[in-house]
Structure 1
């Protein structure tokens, strides 16, 4: 499988991009490849937003339109429909961050429910997603995870978090839409994990509807998955997992150092890759009990997953197995997989331009820090420009 380099096909990868969109992508990744420029740009953009300078038009026409589907669900429809023509599904991700009160948590839940009702009528949107700290305070998750005593007020607040999870997962079951629940920092994750397990037990009785997310740069996640699998078999429900490598490495290592505990992170990129691929293999070995959503921009992991599926006689479009990438990145993986009949979904962030900026800045910073990511994007875009005879 790895000997058939399907991800090198740029004609399929960029079929949806016009010449001008391809040029924009080229210059965008060119800028992102210069780390000092990204740092300066992030600071300048934050200052401009705080000063209410009129920069939204510029952001919208460059970085926002490349990495986001639109400012609201309806705005995303053209992107969703165009991608689905090429066999790529969409996961609308309301990417507004940093909110911290019940009014905003309820608004995030209601937006998720609205997306799920919107998705019920659209075959192109079989999956919904939410972020735990979109539904409750990080500090509260942390306190619950530690088993610390909660005040009466905090108990009531936590019950509201539980109710938000339950409301969305219930709607997922009613609408037959998978619900992916993101993972965040380790110090808040235990409480979310326990809550997701509760939701799986309640709603994954016939098939996986509720999915937890496992960040495989954590040394303990493979063992955690095996324990959860054992529990699910004993209690008679299915499990679903989105596997990712992880998004908080520097933050996690710094906190471990500051507080004097051993970092829960793998000590190298190679160890993380091994962990990720072992988790994929384990899930495919037990696919009768679970569903896998592989959230990866790594070509090698994708090839390994394709090979394992073939060896096990699993169909490319087996409904229990999904590949996923972020919108605006790794089109060479997404569209070439879809072209071969695999289930593929793109995460499409959306939201008001100003509110989505923290997400966009993190995307740019991650691209500069992931070795080879930006270089690979640039090389493929350059190859396609040559194929189209663009200068």
Structure 2
């Protein structure tokens, strides 16, 4: 990224309303496509219906892939191959925005697939070594091991001999990935998943942080703040990092499996791990930001959010604590194709910003795209906000022309 140190005064205001900066990277045609897609995704029913139609038609071999690739895939993904996503990385880099390459292939359920994902991740880490526009990488643990084995380890179920061998392979794959990240000097973000697999993921992430975060945060774990128990966990992690003399790497998000979590808790009959309201989740999220600023000496953070209020809170706290806008412990992050008014305006003001850029075969990334679309329709006002800022920029361009 073309970062400089010219923005050391955090006290200057940052506006998220400048649509010229927000959409400088989009052509009129691309802006129209975004407007059309966000208009469709305002309807939860339509999102689920179109997601199912896309899956069925692809599985039947019908020629719909070009249409999907030219529309929703183009808006939210970097491409299928390196030649495609490299162009997106370069474009974001010109705006001072880093790229987190997200190999979004889901549904792998065998050892060959898990090893394939590991190799793909190692390739991304290798690319990042020589590319300043790739500040870090990310991974999903159930992409290198079966969902069932994470579920069993979380539930403290004794593994069979074969399962133990599989679990050992998971740990070896993870260690190889983290070691490569350590040698490259580029962080690896470990995504959070369903609560009934998360304890096993937490266990491995903690082991890797204590092993590889001795001089900087290389391994990051992810906290989903829609869970009411995550603040206590964050405090415990900070205490462990201090006592263990290592840096804590934390990515915070609001959460990705809200409906699934509540439904499972209802069906099985246990207390839902999810906060009772969106307001409670917002409070927990902002509390985590405040805790981080108060412990900046031991914690490095990635604030993954499309929430303008949370971004403003962090900007204001940085100013109050006289922290440089490009402080190396602080990153803002949004998904590619969304909240460009936040990403591009923060980057333009000198803050560290990254975009999550999914890539992979269209057929394999479809579950990811469907889940993201369903998540976003569940966020009150998110699609309306996207449409509002796109409409504002289209009006501005029409007047300018």
TM-score (norm 2): 0.95
Partner of 1:33: 42
Q: Provide the secondary structure at the position in 2 that maps to 1:141.
A: helix
Partner of 2:3: none
In 1, Cα distance between equivalents of 2:44 and 2:145: 33
Answering whether residue 372 of structure 2 is matched by residue 363 of structure 1, we say yes
- Per-residue CA distance 1:176-228 (angstroms, 9 max, x = gap): 01000000000000011011000001000111100000000011111001111
CA contact (8 A) 1:93 1:350 kept: yes
Q: Provide the secondary structure at the position in 1 that maps to 2:71.
A: helix
Bigger drift between 41-50 and 28-37 goes to 28-37
What aligned pairs does 1:214-293 form with structure 2 within 5 A after superposition? 214-293=223-302
Bigger drift between 366-375 and 268-277 goes to 366-375
How big is the shift at 1:358? 0.9
- Per-residue CA distance 1:235-263 (angstroms, 9 max, x = gap): 11111000000000111111111111111
CA contact (8 A) 1:208 1:291 kept: yes
Answering whether residue 127 of structure 2 is matched by residue 156 of structure 1, we say no
The alpha-carbon distance between structure 1 residues 104 and 41, as it changes in their structure 2 partners (threshold 3 A), is same
CA contact (8 A) 1:216 1:275 kept: yes
How big is the shift at 1:144? 1.2
Partner of 2:126: 117
In 1, Cα distance between equivalents of 2:358 and 2:11: 31
Q: Provide the secondary structure at the position in 2 that maps to 1:336.
A: helix
TM-score (norm 1): 0.98
CA contact (8 A) 1:217 1:272 kept: yes
Q: Provide the secondary structure at the position in 1 that maps to 2:297.
A: helix
In 2, Cα distance between equivalents of 1:2 and 1:317: 13
Task: Point out where structure 1 has 5 or more consecutive residues left out of the alignment.
Answer: none
Bigger drift between 3-12 and 204-213 goes to 3-12
Partner of 1:103: 112
Answering whether residue 59 of structure 2 is matched by residue 45 of structure 1, we say no
How big is the shift at 1:40? 2.0
Partner of 1:298: 307
CA contact (8 A) 2:14 2:346 kept: no
Answering whether residue 390 of structure 2 is matched by residue 381 of structure 1, we say yes
Following TM superposition, where does structure 1 have runs of at least 4 consecutive aligned residues deviating by more than 2 angstroms?
1-5, 34-37
Partner of 2:334: 325
In 1, Cα distance between equivalents of 2:158 and 2:363: 38
* Total equivalences in the alignment: 391
CA contact (8 A) 1:73 1:115 kept: no
Instruction: Tell me how large the CA RMSD over aligned residues is.
Output: 1.4
